[in-house]
């Protein structure tokens, strides 16, 4: 597990309720890593703690594009295999 430290003065400047900060920052980080093609959609939505549909909504809300690439196709095919079982 990787832990990131945010200086206290910056943490205090974040205009979110304390209970929402970690969750919201993880969503933003996941969306940005996905947009920069650093993480695939599956890993990004896992980091965000969202379902596929919820992650699509997040990307849409943040005006980010959904790219359908080889990794995404592999994930869809894996899900289809599991549904057939």
* Cα 46 from chain centroid (whole Å): 6
pLDDT of 20: 82
Cα 62 to Cα 80: distance, rounded to the nearest angstrom: 29
Domain map (residue ranges) of the chain: 8-84
pTM: 0.73
pLDDT of 54: 95
Cα–Cα distances in angstroms (integers) from residue 22 to residues 11, 17, 55, in the given order: 10, 10, 17
Helices and strands, counts by H and E, the chain: 5, 0
User: Each residue's pLDDT tens digit in the chain (85 positions)?
Assistant: 888 898 989 988 988 888 888 899 999 999 999 999 899 888 999 999 999 899 999 999 988 887 777 877 887 888 888 888 7
């Amino acid at each position: 597990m990787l832990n990131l430290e945010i200086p206290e003065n910056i943490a205090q400047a974040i205009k979110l309720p304390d209970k929402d900060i970690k969750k919201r920052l993880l969503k933003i980080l996941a969306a940005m890593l996905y947009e920069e093609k650093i993480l695939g959609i599956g890993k990004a939505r896992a980091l965000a703690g969202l379902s596929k549909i919820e992650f699509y909504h997040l990307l849409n809300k943040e005006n980010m594009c959904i790219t359908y690439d080889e990794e995404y196709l592999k994930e869809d095919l894996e899900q289809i295999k599991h549904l057939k079982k």
